[in-house]
A and B are shown apart, each in its own frame.
Chain A
């Protein structure tokens, strides 16, 4: 026994391999126990009917998945994710690009503006949600109070209580908390754009829009893909800010897949069905990541 161990360590190659694995194994163990195993466990739970308390998990096959397709609450939640992804990506990227181009050549107070724009990014989504819940407060909230103060009483609303306005209102709060991130990343990307190209375009008489469209945006392609990937993933996973502001309400007007899953599994104790929703969420996330990777491969240099 000791001989074979000694032999093992005498073999230089095997010793190198052992060292390599020693570096990787601690992380691998954590990852397998708390990410990989639970993922397969979710798949198993999604095939059962269970309330989280009974000792027996009743195996029901694909019943939960059959119910998913007929569940209007799932489709409405997914549509809200889609709205969040589209508006929550386009708006902050557009603002970030706009401000980035304005500040590109440097102006006095550059550091001040960057500091301010990035400020909400360091806040937790929970804090962003609480701040904007107050902003939208129907009675004394600053938005309605301002509207009343300037005589626009008709426009004062219960913003988060209105099924049509609640989701856009939360998205606007999300944009407030996020556009500074897009701005900083775009600024970093702008530093890599070739000034000579801009000068050449100026000589050729290209106007601002043409320079933006033909030089700046293509030059930022890599950066814009990265941000889009980030916001896509955030849009699929959004939970905190919605849970803080509306908990999915009024009615189901602001439920997204994460809030619906959490609510189903932990508050209503339909663990099996909640797990099936969690798998849907995993699949959506996978598809989104896949789309992103293929866009990046195609767009890459």
Chain B
């Protein structure tokens, strides 16, 4: 590994050795392509398998489909009730993202810029929540949600998913608002803005990139959530795509082409959105690590 590292520098630094340079370049590209294949080849096989018949899979598990059976996707879509699963995912994800982002912006701003007794105490109180894993609260939450009568509705996912996402959201937005200059607030206050006006008219418009990152992060978090809907959205009517996909592939277990077609249906939209909004995805999903 270390030698290759050295080699790559040599390439950029000293163009004196043309042969060595070419070998190093080739090695560098070879390694980069190898890892690209590690990522892409499993996707290729998912697509191949999804578009073959089971007989064709048994005859040749590796090669491309002899006939590209796109009708498999339509069949999986209908058999798997995926339209309902997708609608369910949208119904729970949209309110979760709106609630998490708006509550985090409010609380993050309050904790960063407004005076109140016990401000740091409240902030640390939220921070402790970053250390509490969902598993540590998932058991009584089931009975709490049952007792307040939301089990069997979408709220059984919306409420807890919002709550467990708040500590990070508040931490993130507080860090952002703390970094904004004070001159802006003072100027707005002299112009007669109250605290909420300052927040809404001055601070929030500046928070665009941070809000975008938080939206992506929470959208992915709740869209991809699995354990939470597995416990609280057990009814097939409420099931979002992730648990829906699990039940689908379990039911169609040995029917490999059906279960891969179902998987492809679930994966394709998110991958398409990623390819279009690549930069926002990467920023949003790495936001915690890069800024923290």
Give min CB distance, A48 to chain B, whole Å. Answer: 11
Contact A180/B2 with A102-B8, A103-B32, A202-B13 known, Cβ cut-off 8 Å: no
Which residues from A are CB-within-8-Å of B29?
A: 107
A278 to B140, CA, bound (A): 10
**CB distance A34 to B163 under 8 Å?**
yes
Q: What chain A residues lie within 8 Å of B231 (beta carbons)? A: 262, 266
CB distance from B159 to the nearest CB of A (A): 6
- Selected from A16, A37, A135, the residue in CB contact (under 8 A) with B144 is A37
Complex Cα gap A98–B223 (Å): 31
Interface size class of B (residues with CB under 8 A): 35 or more
Question: Contacts of B19 on A, CB cut-off 8 Å?
Answer: none
- The B interface is mostly helix, strand or loop, or mixed, namely helix
Interface of chain A, main secondary structure: helix
Could you give, for residues 109-147 of chain A, a 1 whenever the CB lies within 8 Å of some chain B CB and a 0 otherwise?
100111111111111111100111011010011100110
| Contact mask for chain A residues 22-38; partner B; CB cutoff 8 A; 1 contact, 0 none | 11101110110111111
Give the distance to chain B from A295, nearest Cβ to Cβ, in Å.
Answer: 14
A74 within 8 A of B: no
- Contact pick for A124, options B61, B109, B242, CB 8 Å: B242
B71 proximal to A (CB < 8 A): no
Chain A residues contacting B152 (CB-CB under 8 Å) are none
Q: Which residues of B contact A119 (CB under 8 A)?
A: 39-40, 43, 271, 274
| Binary interface encoding of chain B residues 87-126 relative to chain A, with 1 for a CB under 8 A from any of its CBs, else 0 | 0000000000001000110110111001111010010001
The yes or no answer to B3 lying at the interface (CB within 8 A) is yes
Bound complex: CA A282 to CA B136 (Å): 5
- By the criterion CB–CB under 8 Å, are A176 and B42 in contact? yes
Cβ contact of A41, chosen from B11, B110, B122, B144, cutoff 8 A: B144
Cα–Cα distance between A101 and B7 once the two chains are bound (Å): 11
* B130 interface contact, C-beta 8 A: yes
Question: What residue in chain B is nearest A121 (Cβ atoms)?
Answer: B285
Contacts of B223 in A (CB 8 A): 124
Cβ of B251 to closest chain A Cβ, rounded Å:
13
Do B9 and A122 touch (CB < 8 A)? no
Q: From residue A276, how far is it (CB to closest CB) to chain B in Å?
A: 10
Residue numbers in A under 8 Å from B43 (CB-CB): 119, 131
**How close is A136's CB to chain B, nearest CB, in angstroms?**
11
Query: Is there a chain B Cβ closer than 8 Å to A87's Cβ?
Result: no
User: Which of A17, A19, A124 meets B224, CB within 8 Å?
Assistant: A124
Candidate in A23, A120, A271 with the most chain B CB atoms within 10 angstroms: A23
A181 to B220 CA separation, bound complex (whole angstroms): 14
Expressed in whole angstroms, the minimum distance between the Cβ of A155 and any Cβ of chain B is 16
- A134 vs B138: C-alpha distance when bound (angstroms): 30
A42 contacts B by Cβ under 8 Å:
yes
Tell me whether B286 and A127 are in contact (CB under 8 A). no
Q: Quick check: is B180 within 8 A (CB to CB) of the other chain? A: no
A105 and B36 CA atoms in complex are apart in Å by 19
User: Are the CB atoms of B246 and A244 closer together than 8 Å?
Assistant: yes
Whether B32 lies near A127 (C-beta < 8 A) is: no
Which B residues from 1 to 54 make CB contacts under 8 A with A? Answer: 1-9, 11-13, 28-29, 31-32, 35-36, 38-43, 45-46, 49
| A31 with B167: CB separation less than 8 A | yes
Known: A20-B115, A30-B159. A145 touches B5 (CB 8 A): no
Let me know if B135 and A24 touch, CB within 8 A: no
The verdict on B131 contacting chain A, using a C-beta distance below 8 Å, is yes
A182-236: which have CB < 8 Å to B?
184-185, 188, 198, 202, 207-209, 211-212, 223, 226-227, 230, 233, 236
Partner of B136, one of A121, A180, A207, A279: A279
Q: Is B207 an interface residue (CB 8 A)?
A: no
A51 at the interface (CB under 8 A from B): no
B6 CB contacts on chain A under 8 angstroms: 207-209, 211
Q: Which residues of B contact A (CB under 8 A)?
A: 1-9, 11-13, 28-29, 31-32, 35-36, 38-43, 45-46, 49, 57-58, 61-62, 99, 103-104, 106-107, 109-111, 114-117, 119, 122, 126, 129-144, 159-160, 162-164, 166-167, 170, 194-196, 199, 220, 223-224, 226-227, 230-231, 242, 245-246, 249, 256, 259-260, 263, 266-267, 270-271, 274-275, 278, 281-282, 285-286, 288-290, 292
Closest 4 pairs (CB-CB, A-B): A208-B6, A23-B110, A20-B116, A34-B163
